[in-house]
Amino acid sequence: MRAVLPSEIAMLDHILNSCQATSLAAAVLQGDLRGLGKVLSSDRIVEPKLAPLIPRMRAIKNAMIGAGAFGYTISDTGPTTVAMTDSELRGETIGEKMVEMFRKECNLKATTTVRSLERVGAWLISSNS
């Protein structure tokens, strides 16, 4: 899927995505899940090129946000998608809706996994020293 990504981008898209990188860092540092979801949903470079390769991506994204996701986007270069929300229950509901939409509207099998973000950051599990 990387082959569809542009080798050059418009200056405006670069500026807007760079601003979003700053917003991403701020959202992570502040623990702002809504802000993080908004940032994840506002890519101007990669998602617009990859979305057409995932059937009904735009409709599914809109439905996931309508179901309570703070944001929804393509993870890396796909085909994995990711939604951001603040509760495991809401995550399960959003995931079930996503799986159903991919099955009914695209005839695709999808699975869902709900995970919590690690809010502490990196930490040492063990050390050899």
Torsion angles phi and psi, residue 25, rounded to 5: -60, -45
Domains within the chain, CATH numbers bracketed: 9-106 (3.30.70.890)
CA distances from 50 to 28, 44, 78, 98 (A): 25, 11, 8, 18
User: Using an 8 Å Cβ cutoff, are 112 and 99 in contact?
Assistant: yes
pLDDT digits (tens, 9 = 90+) for 32-54: 999 999 999 999 998 999 999 88
pLDDT band at 108 (very low <50, low <70, confident <90, very high): very high
**Which residue type sits at 54?**
I
> What's the rounded Cα separation, in Å, for the pair 20 and 33?
14
> What's the rounded Cα separation, in Å, for the pair 33 and 35?
5
